[in-house]
A = this chain, B = another copy of it.
């Protein structure tokens, strides 16, 4: 179906908005009146600009406080409408949105509303314009979609139809099933917006917290299915008022917006995308660093061994059990300090995974390789992290490890292999990635839509210097877990730290081995252990060991979680953890203590 976006969704000047919408692949736009008023372009110039960008103008909006008012007031409203219809003719827009009145002058009189809307539609018709009447959730007398449709139906004017808006319908708790009673040709427009499920005043909720479909808690796909059963064939159009998107760069927001409509259409069964290729594990995590020494010193102490190096690039593979970490000194020019630059996702069918990502507007990365290298399918996540879809030791598929030449002759390898048994790090449990402030919702949708990961509840975490928000996405079996975190402030001097969490069956042994090898664990205050003693039935011996090593403890219905942290190198630190099979979380309860300790470390 055709896709459209209201200019109010995007940041910037009208022309910046139009350009971003066009580049992201939208077919049309809704022109939000305030954006037109603030533009130095004439309506004719805007029309031309849209045409040049391949955008139709699907809606002009909004016209407010029009209907069900005393005659003299309605005369003024018609006068105002005539101006706007004239403007729309110049603009080349043929549908106007009329919102149900919130004016104190409005009368609770459906017949009057129908009569005046009919007269408005008659005037519109003279200009070749259609009127799409929509119930605002906070409309004074008309606030539900079925009520608005009832008024439109009784007005019975061919140039008058209804506009459905998913936010106004679902925020009121209306049953969208009734949409099917409306003839499709009388649905003149469909606006789509999701929102987090907040218990708050609906006007404030609508004006500040809307988000793109799939980013909130509403069943937009379900609503869309009802609309489609009516035969509606107009555009799917996004109308999202969101304080964060207003500040964010227009280009990525427009891509995020368009991706949301693709995922939505797939969910509603009206489009087919390459199916998700659920990753079965983390093949590797790649650190980029201007200086390998500090981070490899930590890896070494953790029991990792440098097992191979890339045949053509300055990249080393460090391994322990199934945990593989690449240390790349080649991209250092782009990095100020050590950072998590890429993730290798173990993919059942790497090219298929890449096709889905590309179909969902993920930037496909150029394959930086020499001719003999294995082709690697890679895209960029919204935070810039490179995602490689790859296969490890699966004979039927090209193996990314083929490009790495074993470092057999390295004397440390044998020693380290022995140490590995001791340390027992088996795999990467999860990766924690700090997200750019303006694109947290986008990141969740990306990981869900592109990678098929399931988002968990968002949790607040109190850092001493501000509240962080954290949301885990994972596969059903927990084989891939990524924790997305967003900082307290939109812009920040220091880029916040990311981390690699390493799973072990014996965190005490792993922590001891790390310390014995010269590694420095994050020190946790004694007061924390005093609180553990009060909250859990742990033995004094256990507590003493935990305190000595800085091991934090949590428990849920499914089991226990024990974890400790290395000091930070550049932007990266490591977590050692021991997870009972049934434990679902990430130790969020302990994060404030960990964060405070990192600030004082």
Contact = CB atoms under 8 A, between A and B. Distances in A.
Interface of A: 11-13, 33-34, 36-43, 79-80, 83-84, 87, 198-201, 204, 207-208, 243, 246-247, 460, 462, 464-467, 488-493, 523, 525-528, 530-531, 533-535, 592-593, 595-597, 599-600
A599 B466 contact: no
Contacts of A87: 530
Nearest to A202: B199
Contact of A13 (B37, B247, B464, B490): B464
Given A11-B466, A467-B243, A80 B535 contact: yes
A379 B546 CA distance: 53
A40 B80 contact: no
Interface SS, A side = helix
Given A13-B464, A489-B247, A534-B84, A527 B200 contact: no
A41 B600 CA distance: 12
B489 A593 contact: no
A247 B43 CA distance: 44
Nearest to A465: B11
Nearest 4 pairs between A and B by C-beta? A83-B534, A38-B596, A200-B200, A199-B201
Contact of A246 (B39, B207, B467): B467
B201 A488 contact: no
B247 A466 contact: yes
B534 A462 contact: no
Contact of A12 (B36, B40, B464, B467): B464
A526 to B, nearest CB: 7
Given A34-B592, A38-B525, A40-B600, 13 more contacts: A34-B462, A80-B535, A83-B530, A198-B201, A198-B204, A200-B201, A243-B466, A243-B488, A246-B462, A246-B466, A246-B467, A247-B489, A490-B490
Contact of A11 (B40, B199, B464): B464
B246 A533 contact: no
Contacts of A198: 200-201, 204
Contacts of A207: 460
A460 to B, nearest CB: 8
Given A199-B201, A526-B42, A13 B489 contact: no
B599 A13 contact: yes
A172 to B, nearest CB: 15
B525 A40 contact: yes
Contact of A597 (B38, B243, B534): B38
B200 A43 contact: no
Contacts of A13: 464, 596, 599-600
Contact of A593 (B38, B42, B467, B490): B38
A592 B460 CA distance: 33
A204 to B, nearest CB: 7
Contacts of A526: 42
A163 to B, nearest CB: 21
Contacts of A533: 83
22 contacts: A34-B592, A34-B593, A37-B531, A37-B593, A38-B525, A38-B592, A38-B593, A39-B527, A39-B596, A40-B597, A80-B535, A83-B530, A198-B201, A243-B467, A243-B488, A246-B462, A247-B465, A247-B488, A247-B489, A489-B489, A490-B490, A491-B492
Contacts of A488: 243, 246-247
Nearest to A463: B246
Contacts of A466: 11, 243, 246-247
Nearest to A76: B537
Contacts of A34: 462, 592-593
Contacts of A464: 11-13, 38
A533 B76 CA distance: 12
Contacts of A523: 40
